Structures are given as structure tokens and as C-alpha cells.
Structure 1
Amino acid sequence: MTEQVLVDASVGLGFQRYIQSVAEGVGAGIEQWCCRGEHPMEAYIALDREVPRFPGREVALLWEETCGWALAVETRSGEDLIVLGYFGDDAVPTADVVAAFGASVGTPDARMRRRASWTNDRPLADSDRTARLLRQYGHDAN
């Protein structure tokens, strides 16, 4: 395991396609998501949903190369987002799995999905495995 993901053209392309797949899966338009394909690789996908505990606050899926996916809500003061949980130990679960969770946020089955998949402990991703999985997203589209 290394500290950072080795980002080359195929990892960068795969990362963008992976994030785009998740964004499309949750119904986020191009203006609702962004990603940075260089160190540190990060992504933000705004969800058109609310978390009952935080009414009126924007909700987002976040991705970081060191820990994978997190569910977060905006603060009222414009400070850092409040992370509600992390999506297990896998930094690159399939786009369909992440999109299904994102689409369920704020629905009655969201609690069940969250309990089954999410953790409060920030995981440490295996950077070599992360790079290998992201490369596959770049190759799969060809």
C-alpha cells in the first residue's frame, strides 16, 4: 500500500468516468458534480435530497482517494461539510452500488441501507487497489 494513488492518464480518465457514472445514477446534472483527477483526487456530487436530521441543508456524496465515499451535509456557516458516515472499507465500490445508496438518501429505506454499508470510522483505502479499479473504468468505456 502506498500513500497516494499513482495518477496517470488511465487512472484520471477512469476516475472521471467513475464519478460521472455515480452522478448519473443519482440523477445529478453536470452542474451538480465536479471532480479533481490530480492529487489529492476528490469528487463532490450534490444530491437533490434531504436528511431528516438536517432539514433544509444540502446533502452531498464526497469521494477522496484516501478513504473513498462519504455522505455529508452542508453547514449553515459555509465551513467544512459535516460527514455523516463513510461507505465501508472499499474506496471504489461499483458505481451502481453508490448510486443506489445516493438515490435512497432521505427515503424510508435509507436507514436500512446506511446501517448495512456505512461506518462512522474513516477507512484507509489501499491506493494500489484504488488505482487498479479506477483504471478499469477508463478501459471499460472503450
Structure 2
Amino acid sequence: MTMESEIDFDIDFDDAVAREVRSYISEIVTGLGLRGDSSCIDAEPLTGAYVALDGRLPDFPSHYVALVWNELSGWSVAVEDRLGDLVDVARLSGDPRPAPADVVRWVNGLLHREQTNRDFAAFVPEQRGIVLS
């Protein structure tokens, strides 16, 4: 018994959106003076990006910093908590896809401002209660 597939495997997918996002993120990475080797772009389920930043935020000097973007909520700066999870500490308001120069200026402002003594509770794992049986 022979089964013929009706799926056309020669379909040429249009990756114009992926190329456009890659170019957009690349402009920001370059504007920040980075090479992009610690960056990634996701296409699904939402288009988004992760860019590891050099330097530290004044409020979180011992935490790695990342620039995170998705097509719906836009840009945020996040730090890794003690468990390695990303926690947003700043969000760029307005258009979810602002001009690259605006993103670069915003990030540089965050990295070079003075410490504001944020609440560090999100970065300290909660004590777990002891269950007695």
C-alpha cells in the first residue's frame, strides 16, 4: 500500500517579520556597544528578545542584568534573583516598539543613575516553614 503525502514540503515561508525583528534588536545591541553573543530572539508564542547587558544596576550591584522585549508589553530591564529567575525592575513606557535610539538612551540612563534603595524583598528567597507531623 502506497500513501502519497498531500503536504507541499517546498513551501517558502515568509520570514520578513523575523528579519525585521532581528534588524531592530541588532540596532539596539549595537547601540549599547554589545556584540550580541549573549542575546536571543524568540518567534513563538510571542515575538521577543533577551539581551544580556554588561554592567550592573546601581540598586542591584551583585545581580546580572538583562534587557527583555516582547511585541505586546515592550521593553523591560530585569535582574536575576538568587534563584536565577528574571525579575523586572524597570519598564519603558509607551510604544512597545520604540526607536532603537530611545531604548539605548533609556538603558544607559538606568545603568548610570544613582542608587535609589529599592526594596530587595523580591531577591531574598522566603523562609519555608517546618512542617511537623
Q: Same fold (TM over 0.5)?
A: yes
**Is the CA contact 2:66–2:77 (under 8 Å) kept in the aligned structure 1?**
yes
Note the C-alpha offset of 1:66: 1.7
In structure 2, list runs of 5 or more residues that go unmatched. Answer: 1-13, 117-133
In structure 2, relative to structure 1, the CA distance for the partners of 1:25 and 1:68 (3 Å cut) is: same
Q: Does 1:106 align with 2:117?
A: no
Question: Which residue of 2 is the match for residue 5 of structure 1?
Answer: none
RMSD of aligned alpha carbons: 2.0
- TM-score, length-scaled by structure 1: 0.65
- Percent identical among aligned pairs is 31
Larger relative helix fraction: 1
SS in 2 for 1:100: helix
- TM-score, length-scaled by structure 2: 0.69
Size of the aligned set, in residue pairs, is 103
Match of 1:17 among 10, 14, 23: 23
In 2, the alpha carbon distance for the partners of 1:27 and 1:37 equals 24
Larger deviation: 14-23 or 100-109? 100-109
**Is the CA contact 1:33–1:43 (under 8 Å) kept in the aligned structure 2?**
yes
Structure 1 consecutive aligned stretches of length 4 or more whose deviation exceeds 6 Å? none
Question: Which residue of 2 is the match for residue 78 of structure 1?
Answer: 84
Note the C-alpha offset of 1:105: 2.7
Match of 1:61 among 48, 60, 67: 67
**Is the CA contact 1:15–1:37 (under 8 Å) kept in the aligned structure 2?**
no
Question: Which residue of 2 is the match for residue 36 of structure 1?
Answer: 42
Encode CA deviations 1:72-105: one digit per residue, 9 max, x unaligned: 11111112x1101221131110011101222333
Question: Greater RCO between the two (CA within 8 Å, min separation 6)?
Answer: 1
**Is the CA contact 1:25–1:103 (under 8 Å) kept in the aligned structure 2?**
no
In structure 1, list runs of 5 or more residues that go unmatched. Answer: 1-7, 112-142
